[in-house]
Structures are given as C-alpha cells and as structure tokens.
Amino acid sequence: MSRVFNFSPGPAVLPEPVLQQAKEAVWEYGDTGIGMLEMSHRSPAFAEIIETARQRIHRLLQLDDDQDVLFLHGGASTQFFMVPMNLLRGGRATYLDTGTWSAKAIKEANRFGTVDVPFSSAETKYDHVPTQEQIGALPEGTAYVHYTSNNTVAGTEYHYIPETGDAFLVCDASSDILSRPIDGSRYGILYAGAQKNMGPAGVAVVALRKSLLERCDPDLPTMLKYGTHVTKGSLFNTGNTFAIYVVERVAAWIEDLGGLEAVAEMNRAKADLLYGAIDASGFWAGKVHTGSRSLMNVTFTTGDADLDKTFVGAAAAAGFNGLKGHRSVGGLRASIYNAMPFEGVRGLVEYMAEFERTHG
Ligand code: PMP
C-alpha cells in the first residue's frame, strides 16, 4: 500500500526528505560503514549530530547564550515533574489549566509545592485559552508560570506569550514547537516531546536557562537533575541516538525551507483552508472559540457521534488517516503539523465536501 495522508496527533507525519535520509542512514550513516541504529553515542559522528541538533534548535528558537538545549528521556510527561522537582521546592508557582496535559502537569507540580491555578477552561471542555487579563496578577513569591502553548486534545493554542513579570516562564510546547517564529529567550524552560513536530517518539527537547541551575534542588537522583544533563551535554547516559538524529534532520529541513517564518506561512495557509471549510458549511462545526483555535490540531464534529465515527472510517478508506478525536473528548481532529503537505489538507477538505454531499 502506498503512503496516505497522516493526520495523526503524534507520533505524526514527518517530512518525506527526512524519512528518505533516515532510511538510508539506518543502513549506513555517511561513509562510517555502520548504520545510525548501531552507532555509539560516544562516536565522533554522533558527537557532531547532537551538537548540530543543539545549534539548529538554539537558532530556530532564538535562544540566548544563557540557554542550553537538552535531549532527554521520558517525554514531556517527565518534564511535568522534573520542572517542579528541580525548581518548585516547596515554593509557589502558577499553572494555567487549558487542557488534559496542563491538568497532568498541575497534578505533578502539586507534589512539590503550592500551585495557584488562576485560570481553567475545564468547565467548558477546554474550549479556550486565557487572555493576559484573565491570568491576572501573580501572587507574591511566585517562582514561575507554567502554560501549555498548544492543547493537542482540545485544539486550542495561545497566540501570544504570557507576561509574567519576575516569575520565569515555563512552557509545554509539545504540539506547536517549531511551528512558527518564537522569541525563545523569554522562557526559563521550554520543553516538548519530539513526536509531533520534531521527530520520532523517545526524546524530549528542553530549552533550559542555565542561570536557573543554581536554584535547582541539589539532592535529587542524578538522572533527574537538570544540572547533570547540562554538564554532560545530554550524554550522561545513552540518549535516544536515532531520535536525536531525526530531530537534527527535521531542524535542517526547516532551515532549508527558509526557517520558521516560511513554515508559519505554510501552516497558516493549511489552517485557514480547513477552518474556512468548516465555517462555510452548516454540516461541520468547530469545537473551540475562534480566537483560541490551534493551527496544529483542528478539532471539529458533525454533531453526531455515529456520523463522526462513519467519517473517520470512510476518510481512512479514502486515504486520510488519523482523524479520530482524542478518546476523552470524541469528535474529529485533524493534526496538521509542519510536515503535513498543503495537498493533504486540500484533499481532506475536498473529501469533507463529498462526505457532506452524501451524508448531509
Ligand atoms: N503535552 C502535550 C501538549 C501533549 O500533546 C503530549 C502528548 N500527546 C504530552 C504533553 C505528553 O507527551 P509525552 O508522551 O512525550 O510524555
């Protein structure tokens, strides 16, 4: 069977040129005589790969000299506890509750200190993110503010970076990292699992402000201390070499396309096309406030759970895969990350029109 358009939320579609390079690298990387999967994490070839990956991500995220890029195990979910374990330490932090993943981060943070949640959209099924005013003034002594820039399940996204005064900013950017230009220097910690917009599953990218290290708990297990990974260049133990290699190739693909401005323009065009089709029809309906709409995960529904289910199956048979909404919320979701080509979205929109004609 030939490849289909993959609208899966993650692990997700990867750029075809990167997949072709990875395919060759599995057999032999460059002229090393060995494949990527067989290569020592201490080899000169891998040292160059991880360093190049670090530099490319540093550049793309517009980080400054005080910020390092780490490649860690345990996914974004490990960052849910690693952040407060290292940096909350019985103190106080603000968390914004905009979705399933924010709620999980809050649950973990509660183990390590006082967590203020000035905003939650849980009662309206996480259908919007807060404005700056809704975040409000932070309590005295707030160490940091944590938010989820894109909510993969609900399909909402912040279209601004929250102002947090003296508190440093922490962001789970798992599902919109590298989707648009970002002033990464505004963050204390910016983290993301790679498996949506950056590469395969199995590595989390963490941009960390090094001056925060002196505030980290020194008595943690070695692997759970940020300091360990900064000092050892993310190679204290065996990293996920293959995933890091693919992340490096994806970052190179982005830079070759013209960087994040170019990528953002493509993402905007895809999202406009899909939301436009949803808005223009009386058959499909979006699920979130228009001002909070995600450019990465477009959630929608026919309003009828059975019909949604029929659509998922029929669309898959027509070559559009992965359109089922998250099991916790139902409905439909098209994840249109960087590597989803415009033709994929155009094809989906045409198929949606056909489905509406036959089922509307
Ligand atoms: N945060 C967000 C926004 C996510 O979408 C996900 C995964 N779907 C996670 C965190 C959890 O990531 P991981 O599986 O890498 O732990």
3-state secondary structure of 321: strand
Q: At what angle do helices 16-27 and 241-257 cross, to 10 degrees?
A: 140
**For position 360, what pLDDT does the model report?**
85
pLDDT band at 2 (very low <50, low <70, confident <90, very high): confident
Cα of 49 vs its chain's centroid, Å: 22
Tokens for 360, please give them.
């509307």
Q: Which helix (H) or strand (E) holds 358?
A: helix 342-359
Bridge partners (DSSP) of residue 204 are: 72, 193
The CATH number given to 16-257 is 3.40.640.10
Which member of 68, 97, 127, 172 is catalytic? 172
Q: What φ, ψ does residue 3 adopt, rounded to 5°?
A: -65, 145
Kindly give the distance from the C-alpha atom of residue 359 to the centroid of ligand 1, in angstroms, as a whole number. 34
pLDDT digits (tens, 9 = 90+) for 57-111: 999 999 999 999 999 999 999 999 999 999 999 999 999 999 999 999 999 999 9
**For position 351, what pLDDT does the model report?**
98
Average pLDDT of 100-125? 98
**For position 296, what pLDDT does the model report?**
98
Bridge partners (DSSP) of residue 92 are: 114, 142
* Distance of alpha carbon 263 from alpha carbon 239, whole angstroms: 28
Amino acid identity, residue 36?
Answer: M
Residue with CA closest to ligand 1 atom 3: 174
Does residue 8 have a pLDDT over 70?
A: yes
Which member of 97, 127, 176, 196 is catalytic? 196
Does residue 329 have a pLDDT over 90?
A: yes
Asked whether 172 and 79 are in contact (CB, 8 A), the reply is: yes
Kindly give the distance from the C-alpha atom of residue 32 to the centroid of ligand 1, in angstroms, as a whole number. 35
Within 13 A of 358's CA, how many CA atoms are on the CB side? 10
Which member of 68, 97, 101, 127 is catalytic? 101
DSSP state of 324: B
Does residue 233 have a pLDDT over 80?
A: yes
Does residue 1 have a pLDDT over 80?
A: no
Does residue 341 have a pLDDT over 80?
A: yes
Kindly give the distance from the C-alpha atom of residue 79 to the centroid of ligand 1, in angstroms, as a whole number. 10
pLDDT band at 211 (very low <50, low <70, confident <90, very high): very high
Tokens for 117, please give them.
């949640």
Residues flanking ligand 1, CB < 6 Å: 10, 75-77, 101, 148, 152, 172, 174-175, 193
8, 73, 98, 101, best to mutate for ligand 1 pocket (most atoms within 8 Å of CB): 101
Residue with CA closest to ligand 1 atom 14: 75
The pairs formed by 63-68 with CB atoms below 8 angstroms and a separation of 24 or more are 63/184, 63/185, 63/207, 64/185, 66/209, 66/210, 66/211, 67/184, 67/185, 67/187, 67/207, 67/208, 67/209, 67/210, 68/207, 68/208, 68/210, 68/230
Inter-CA distances, 111 with 90, 104, 168, 218, 357, Å: 9, 12, 20, 17, 52
**For position 19, what pLDDT does the model report?**
98
Does the annotation count 23 as an active-site position? no
pLDDT digits (tens, 9 = 90+) for 259-309: 999 999 999 999 999 999 999 999 999 999 999 999 999 999 999 999 999
So what CATH class is 259-359?
Answer: alpha beta
pLDDT band at 225 (very low <50, low <70, confident <90, very high): very high
Kindly give the distance from the C-alpha atom of residue 101 to the centroid of ligand 1, in angstroms, as a whole number. 7
pLDDT band at 21 (very low <50, low <70, confident <90, very high): very high
Asked whether 335 and 295 are in contact (CB, 8 A), the reply is: no
Q: Which atom of ligand 1 is nearest to the CA of 78?
A: 16
Q: Which atom of ligand 1 is nearest to the CA of 75?
A: 15
Inter-CA distances, 250 with 20, 200, 203, Å: 12, 10, 14
The pTM score is: 0.98
Does the annotation count 172 as an active-site position? yes
Boundaries of every domain in the chain:
16-257, 259-359
* Distance of alpha carbon 193 from alpha carbon 73, whole angstroms: 9
Kindly give the distance from the C-alpha atom of residue 193 to the centroid of ligand 1, in angstroms, as a whole number. 6
**For position 191, what pLDDT does the model report?**
98
DSSP state of 293: B
Tokens for 326, please give them.
């998250």
